[in-house]
Every structure is written in structure tokens, then in C-alpha cells.
């Protein structure tokens, strides 16, 4: 998704433009396509960074559910960019708590 300004002299690196970019990306990330009796999401086709395999299956499940699609955007510099990362359903991490998402994960608690 490439965002451009309606006015060629204007910059898209303004708060209002970046907030609009968040909303458009949220719609793109949540888009589903139903084809041949299968529902496809971005997560089914995107590139996700890989993590090493762990002997404990529950750790693999946590990473599989919480590692987002790689989305490169100017929003990566701001907390609002984490709203795009998901996961779709909050993850339970033993010792950390229930309903963990990127928007409420505090790295200081890890």
C-alpha cells in the first residue's frame, strides 16, 4: 500500500495523513477473500519473520500466533504502528498473562 498526497506539494508525513494511513492499513490487514470455499487473510500469504524451533510446543504456538506479517511503513516509528500487528486473537503467555497483543505488551515486564 503506497500512500500519496492529493496535493503534490504537500507531505504525507503529517499527523492527519499518518492517522489516515493507520486506518487504511487496518482495513487492508483485516481484508478477507473467500474463494473456492476457502477464506484467505493477509496472514495466510504474507512474509512473517521466522523464529527458531523450540522443544516446548506451547512456545512454538505463542510465536506462531503473535509474530505479525512484516509491514514496512513510516508508522513503525510510532506506537500507532503496533495497532497493525495484531494478533487477531490475544495470546496467553505463561507468566505474562492473558490477552497479550502488541498494543499492550510491555517489554519491561518480560
Instruction: Kindly report the average pLDDT of the chain as a whole number.
Output: 79
Q: What average pLDDT does range 72-101 have in this prediction?
A: 77
Domain ranges across the chain: 15-109
Angle at 36 between CA 29 and CA 32, to 5 degrees: 10
| Radius of gyration of the CA atoms of the chain, in A | 17
- Give the tens place of pLDDT for each residue, 8-53: 787 878 888 888 888 888 888 888 999 999 999 888 888 777 777 7
- Cα distance between residue 91 and residue 102, in whole Å: 10
Amino acid at each position: 500500500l503506497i500512500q500519496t498526497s492529493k496535493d503534490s506539494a504537500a507531505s504525507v508525513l503529517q499527523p492527519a495523513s499518518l492517522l489516515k494511513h493507520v486506518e487504511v492499513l487496518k482495513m487492508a490487514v483485516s481484508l478477507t477473500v473467500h474463494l473456492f470455499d476457502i477464506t484467505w487473510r493477509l496472514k495466510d500469504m504474507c512474509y512473517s519473520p521466522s523464529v527458531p524451533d523450540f522443544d516446548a510446543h506451547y512456545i512454538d504456538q505463542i510465536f506462531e500466533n503473535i509474530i505479525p506479517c512484516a509491514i514496512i511503513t513510516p508508522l513503525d516509528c510510532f506506537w500507532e504502528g503496533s495497532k497493525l500487528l495484531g494478533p487477531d486473537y490475544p495470546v496467553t503467555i505463561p507468566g505474562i498473562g492473558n490477552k497479550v497483543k502488541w498494543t499492550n505488551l510491555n517489554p519491561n515486564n518480560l
